[in-house]
């Protein structure tokens, strides 16, 4: 994600083009992705309890915060791009790092991006089919086009990538603000039936584990900025 240029000492470095605002946008834009819009359904589905759902969301947020703080320390201690790969390479050597990066490239990243792209495609196509499910071929085609276009832009220009990231982040924040305001208004006008018996629900280990999985998926992405550490203008910020 950046142009490699020689710095005069035969060492190859990346241009530091990512500002503090861009970095914050990357984190917010990655965390506030498709997960926050689809995970609440999963959390409530597995707990069937309003109170348990809120507690799980709080616990997932705390766990993600602890992970983010650890990665912030790693990012300022090991000033190399690559995220997990760079840290595992420094701590355990090339073989574990190689295995980690290939698992990420072949399994973790593609599946995550596929979920995000399919969610995007679903919500774009859905307004044209209000009475039924949108055709899966159209959703998949739009998702593939989205991935190809964003990949091409990312390869061509870091600056354009950051601008698009900032626009998408602002749009998602606006959508969340609208949802929150609408929810508060809905409660204020007296629709509180879901809070009458908030602790009734399922509390078996399997359901709680699946609810945690859904909640943590929504918070995923707090480690992504560490993949571009060398491109940050001031990593310590």
The 3-state secondary structure of 81-115, one letter per residue: CCCHHHHHHHHHCHHHHHHHHHHHHHHHHHHHHHH
CA–CA distance, 226 with 83 (Å, rounded to integer): 5
9 — pLDDT class (breaks 50, 70, 90): low
Look at residue 1 in the predicted model and tell me its pLDDT: 47
Residues 6+ apart with CB under 8 A from 86: 78, 80, 97, 226, 229
Question: 210: closest CA among 85, 80, 41, 81?
Answer: 41
DSSP H stretches of helix in 126-230 = 136-156, 158-188, 205-219
User: Span 168-179, mean pLDDT?
Assistant: 84
Structure token pair of residue 115:
């979920």
Q: Does the pLDDT of residue 137 top 80, yes or no?
A: yes
Look at residue 105 in the predicted model and tell me its pLDDT: 86
13 — pLDDT class (breaks 50, 70, 90): low
Long-range CB contacts for residues 138-146, cutoff 8 Å, separation at least 24? 143/114, 143/117, 143/118, 144/117, 146/117, 146/120, 146/121
Q: Does the pLDDT of residue 190 top 60, yes or no?
A: yes
User: Span 65-82, mean pLDDT?
Assistant: 84
Given a contact cutoff of 8 angstroms between Cβ atoms, the answer to whether 86 and 70 are in contact is: no
Q: Does the pLDDT of residue 12 top 60, yes or no?
A: yes
**How many Cβ atoms are within 10 Å of 120's Cβ, its own excluded?**
18
Given a contact cutoff of 8 angstroms between Cβ atoms, the answer to whether 64 and 218 are in contact is: no
Question: 51: closest CA among 216, 219, 208?
Answer: 208
**Boundaries of every domain in the chain:** 13-231
Given a contact cutoff of 8 angstroms between Cβ atoms, the answer to whether 226 and 68 are in contact is: no
Look at residue 6 in the predicted model and tell me its pLDDT: 52
- pTM as predicted: 0.70
CA–CA distance, 113 with 148 (Å, rounded to integer): 11
Choice between 106 and 194, residue whose per-residue pLDDT is larger: 106
CA–CA distance, 176 with 194 (Å, rounded to integer): 21
User: Span 143-172, mean pLDDT?
Assistant: 84
Rounded to the nearest angstrom, the gap between the alpha carbon of residue 70 and the centroid of all alpha carbons in its chain is: 17
Mean per-residue pLDDT over the chain, rounded: 82
Please give the share of the chain, as a percent, with pLDDT higher than 70.
90
Q: Does the pLDDT of residue 59 top 90, yes or no?
A: yes
pLDDT in tens, 191-223: 777 777 778 777 888 888 888 888 888 888 788
User: Span 142-152, mean pLDDT?
Assistant: 90
3-class DSSP assignment, residue 14 = strand
144 — pLDDT class (breaks 50, 70, 90): very high
């Amino acid at each position: 994600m950046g142009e490699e240029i020689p710095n005069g000492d035969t060492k190859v470095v990346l241009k530091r083009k990512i500002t503090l605002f861009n970095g914050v946008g990357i984190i917010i834009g990655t965390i506030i992705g498709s997960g926050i819009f689809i995970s609440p359904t999963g959390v409530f589905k597995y707990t069937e309890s309003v109170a348990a759902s809120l507690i799980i969301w709080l616990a997932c947020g705390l766990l993600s915060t602890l992970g983010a703080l650890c990665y912030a320390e790693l990012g300022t201690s090991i000033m190399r791009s690559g995220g997990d790969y760079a840290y595992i390479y420094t701590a355990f050597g090339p073989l574990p790092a190689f295995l980690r990066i290939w698992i990420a490239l072949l399994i973790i990243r593609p599946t995550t991006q596929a979920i995000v792209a399919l969610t995007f495609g679903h919500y774009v196509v859905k307004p044209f089919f209000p009475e039924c499910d949108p055709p899966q071929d159209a959703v998949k085609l739009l998702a593939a086009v989205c991935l190809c276009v964003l990949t091409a832009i990312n390869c061509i220009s870091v600056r354009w990538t950051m601008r698009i990231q900032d626009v998408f982040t602002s749009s998602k924040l606006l959508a969340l603000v609208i949802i929150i305001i609408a929810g508060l208004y809905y409660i204020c006008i007296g629709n509180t039936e879901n809070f009458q018996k908030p602790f009734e629900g399922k509390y078996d280990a399997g359901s709680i584990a699946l609810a945690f999985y859904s909640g943590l998926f929504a918070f995923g992405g707090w480690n992504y900025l560490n993949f571009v550490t060398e491109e940050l203008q001031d990593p310590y910020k």
